[in-house]
Chains A and B, each alone.
Chain A
Amino acid sequence: MTEALMETWWGPFVVILVAGWLATDVWRWLGVFAGGHLREDGELLIWVRCVATALVAGVISKLILFPQGVLADTPLALRLAAAAFGFLAFQVSRQRVIVGVLAAEAFLVIGWLSLDVLR
């Protein structure tokens, strides 16, 4: 059934609307209704924010430990070291995000190049 659907020109867009847009935005809408009655200084909000923050942090470590595409070919130690170096630079620079990001990227590229040379 799905194969026949994907053969038509509109099939992929139905999949994007149902399995993409609806499956994503339904959580945002639920969040609007469930968050509407939270108090800005309440304990419940602190807990909700903790859950959201831990979730996003989980995304971060997954992206670094189990990346997609070519980055997966680099050694895990290099990716971890690059991220740690970036975070350190971020802290030392009085929390300037751009410094952290550039430091991590520089570490990754230099490490990657030197590994290529050593090989």
Chain B
Amino acid sequence: MSAPDGPSSEMVPGDAVVSTRRWMARGARAAISIPALILTAAFVGYAGLARETGLTLAETLAMTGFIWALPSIVVLTGAFSSGMGLIPAAVAVALASVRLMPMTMALMPLVKVPGKTKTWQLLIASHFVAVTAWVYAMKNLPDLPREGRLPFFIGFGSAVTGFVFCMTGLAYLLVERLPDMVAGALVLLTPVYFLCSLWGAARLLADKAAMVAGLALGPVFFLFLPGLDLLWTGLLGGTLAYGITRYWRRGLS
């Protein structure tokens, strides 16, 4: 299934279009997956929260589609319910979303075909960067031929987003109030899913060390530096993990 490398892979434009479409279709098909179901369940839980908060259906869906990162959506929902102003709400959401920048950065060398991929294509694809698609991409994209990775990711991302969008709307309309235990179980789903899949996607010892550091430092910074906590967790935990495993790999060179 791998595309031929080198000059022989030069295709006529018509062929390239078909093949890009085929990669997108493959990505969309791959979206029918356990991660997508788990994310859907998490958003079903969110629909209940949004309804209790007093958001309308249109507002709930607008948040889902435009923000597309559950922790940031939860922050903005909280801002709505507490009557926070536009600027403070934007700052709170921006702080909760900083993590998307290093995640997107780490994805770029994977999906980019040097000299061929246009920046606007990457900007469109970047909207789908959120933990679920990112973890899936980091784990599975390296196995695909380079040309197919970006369309595959866009197909995967748009299929998951579209499905979750519809299910969130359905859940908002149908589920009046979830039983406590079901709602609680849905809330636990996301962290456990992240925990397992992030570990599974870790390629190097450095990635695993970073994960352990982040797990340990996250709550500490949350208690002592709320607001900027995730940023510090990432910078300090990630740098520590990188430094220590680098020393382990190659000494002080």
Contact = CB atoms under 8 A, between A and B. Distances in A.
A55 to B, nearest CB: 3
B241 A101 contact: no
A65 to B, nearest CB: 5
Contacts of A79: 188
A66 B207 CA distance: 24
Size class of the contact patch on chain B: 35 or more
Given A27-B97, A35-B109, A108-B184, A56 B66 contact: no
A119 interface: no
A16 B59 contact: yes
B151 interface: no
Nearest to A97: B196
A51 B210 CA distance: 7
Main secondary structure of the interface of B (DSSP, over half): helix
B242 A50 contact: yes
B67 A24 contact: yes
B197 A97 contact: yes
With a 10 A CB-CB cut-off, give which of A13, A39, A56, A79 has the most chain B CB atoms.
Answer: A56
A59 B71 contact: yes
With a 10 A CB-CB cut-off, give which of A35, A100, A105 has the most chain B CB atoms.
Answer: A35
Interface string A71-108: 10110000100110011001000010110110011001
Contacts of B184: 69-71, 73-74, 108, 112
A55 B90 contact: no
Contacts of A58: 214-215, 217-218, 221-222, 229-230, 233-234, 237
A103 to B, nearest CB: 9
A108 B68 contact: no
Interface stretch (B11-19, B23-31, B125-133, B163-171): B125-133
A50 B63 contact: no
A52 B178 CA distance: 33
B236 to A, nearest CB: 8
Contacts of B87: 19
A92 B180 CA distance: 30
A15 to B, nearest CB: 6
Contacts of B193: 97, 101
B77 to A, nearest CB: 10
Contacts of B211: 53-54, 56-57
A118 interface: no
A27 B100 contact: yes
Given A59-B191, A95-B200, 6 more contacts: A16-B66, A31-B103, A50-B238, A55-B230, A71-B188, A112-B184
22 contacts: A16-B59, A24-B94, A28-B101, A35-B105, A36-B122, A45-B106, A47-B242, A49-B106, A49-B138, A50-B238, A55-B231, A57-B210, A57-B218, A57-B233, A57-B237, A58-B214, A61-B214, A65-B219, A66-B219, A71-B187, A86-B192, A113-B181
